Structure 1
Amino acid sequence: MSISSYTSELITAQASRTLMDVLKNDPSVQNTAVGGAMDNISIRGFPIDWTNTMRRDGMPVAPYYDIPLENTERIDVLKGPSGFLYGVNSPGGTVNYVMKRPTQDRFTSATAELRSYDGYYGAIDTGGPIADGRLGYRFNVAGKRVQAHVHL
């Protein structure tokens, strides 16, 4: 068994937008998507089970779409039998998305990209304390436009 963690710094540095953009660094994870509708992977040659293998903060999530990474602090990939943690599961392992949390310090970050074929991407991540630091907030918003390269 082994655990690999991919931080938000790596996700930002690689301009990753999908799970496979992040996990391309890991040779034990293969892209098994058919048609490109969503990221479908296998870990160590075992296909993932969409009802148990994908997790968000340890809770099962069955995404039939790409999970946005703007609110993801880190992605943990537990390779090997993970049934002792989560019950019935894929023998290849588990993918866990760890969500961003409010912070004690105020911050704001913005990202903007211009893409080919009149496409663009923009994201804002802001957070900080409220109520004398006893509570906090975190706000993430992102949007993109993807244009086809076919002009009719």
Structure 2
Amino acid sequence: MLYFLDCEFNGFGGDLISLALAGEVGELYLARPEDELNALAGHAWVADHVLPFLSLPDARPEVMPLDQFGRAIQAFLAGSPAPTIVADWPEDLMHLMQCLIIKPGQMVKIPDLTLRLMSASAYPTDIEKAVKHNALWDARALRRAVRADHRI
């Protein structure tokens, strides 16, 4: 089963803000609560281009503390035989992997997982209503772009 990943984070190398997986069947969209986001040292670009678009009518995240993202990912992937996660940026994969670690030496239980980093451009997209820098819309656009190129 293929899942397309996008994350939004607080500037290059910054803390995770939101994470989305757009699957062949089903989607997961997680965002940190406002109090956690307010505690981050914000970047002006992120404040202008990411935070206003975290929650949209066609892309509303499940809001939860960052330390709960791993359990949400675990539940989402449960029962998915050999999932493959596709991303177009290395930091997205890094943030996903960090979410799976729940404490020193322990990670959530997930099926055997394959990661695939692809050089792909999610935008421009022909998806109506797509909003750039919303993690769910970006994951959907990546799914569309990769599928349109028949690369997977």
TM-score interval, normalised by the smaller of the two chains = under 0.3
Which protein is bigger by CA-based radius of gyration?
A: 1
**Higher normalized contact order (CA 8 Å, seq sep 6+, divided by chain length):** 2
Q: TM-score, normalised by structure 1?
A: 0.25
Name the structure with the higher helix share: 2
